[in-house]
Amino acid sequence: MEQIDTWAKIQNEEDLMNDHHAPFWRAMISQMTEADLHNASVLDFGCNQGGFLRTLFRMKPFKKGLGVDLAVKSLETAENLKGNMPLHYTTPDILNSMEHEFDTAFSHDVIYLLPDLNEHANILKRVLKPNGVYYAATGCYAEMPLWPIWKKEVESYSNVPLPDYSINDFARAFWKAGFDVALQKCIPQGFVTCWPDREAYFPEVTDFLKYYDYKIIFRFSKKD
């Protein structure tokens, strides 16, 4: 796919995503099966400004991490913020020449934006090592009750077109590519901040909690 400057046409949306997503990043990291990543090579697909891998490194240090995204200005921000961490951020075409490179891969709120889930599953199958695992979290799919209003909202500022997937589509693509598929709810620990400026997404305060019933983490594991 073509490169873009930023994913969101509104810079504020792009920047605020870090605060909105951080509790879910921490939940993904706490809930993943692997406790120790010291020797692991990890991938974040759709990394945006790189916050997930920085959070992962602080919580579960790893050997090296690659973040890929179409949004080149956000990748620049990620590179500027990486400090001394063993991280590299670049566009997804780097994956074309990779095979059996990563022990663990992640994506947070990215798979719902991808135009071809079968292609995505095949890329992950190639770049993961044998028995490698891909954790993909999202709450954006047709069965999520707030999705119709979220879709309109996100479409108003997304620089990539939005498909309209069922949760079944994600599982089917990875079954087809030869993965085992498991899932659990992605539940941040402790209190949840109710942002007053998020009414477009969470019209009722209780929606902040109800969303947890639909925010899921897939665990796609390669069989060999």
Ligand X SMILES: C[S@@+](CC[C@H](N)C(=O)[O-])C[C@H]1O[C@@H](n2cnc3c(N)ncnc32)[C@H](O)[C@@H]1O
Chain residues binding ligand X by CB under 6 A are 1, 7, 17, 21, 46-48, 52, 68-71, 74, 92, 108-110, 113-114, 160
Minimum CB distance to ligand X smaller for 14 or for 39: 14
Minimum CB distance to ligand X smaller for 108 or for 222: 108
* Distances, alpha carbon 20 to alpha carbons 146, 178, 183, 188, 199, in Å: 17, 33, 22, 11, 13
Q: Where are the alpha helices (DSSP H) in the chain?
A: 11-31, 51-59, 72-81, 117-127, 147-155, 167-176, 207-210
Distance CA 47, CA 49 (A): 6
Shortest Cβ 122–ligand X spacing (Å): 14
Minimum CB distance to ligand X smaller for 2 or for 224: 2
DSSP 136-189: EEE--STTSTTHHHHHHHHHTTBSS------HHHHHHHHHHTTEEEEEEE---S
Distance CA 202, CA 11 (A): 21
Minimum CB distance to ligand X smaller for 74 or for 104: 74
Minimum CB distance to ligand X smaller for 56 or for 70: 70
DSSP single-letter state for residue 101? -
Minimum CB distance to ligand X smaller for 26 or for 219: 26
DSSP single-letter state for residue 29? H
C-beta nearest to ligand X: residue: 46
DSSP single-letter state for residue 5? S
Shortest Cβ 92–ligand X spacing (Å): 5
> How many CB atoms within 10 Å of residue 76?
14
Strands 128-138 and 216-222: antiparallel
Shortest Cβ 87–ligand X spacing (Å): 14
Shortest Cβ 140–ligand X spacing (Å): 8
Shortest Cβ 21–ligand X spacing (Å): 4
Shortest Cβ 73–ligand X spacing (Å): 10
List the Cα angle 88/93/95 in 5-degree steps: 70
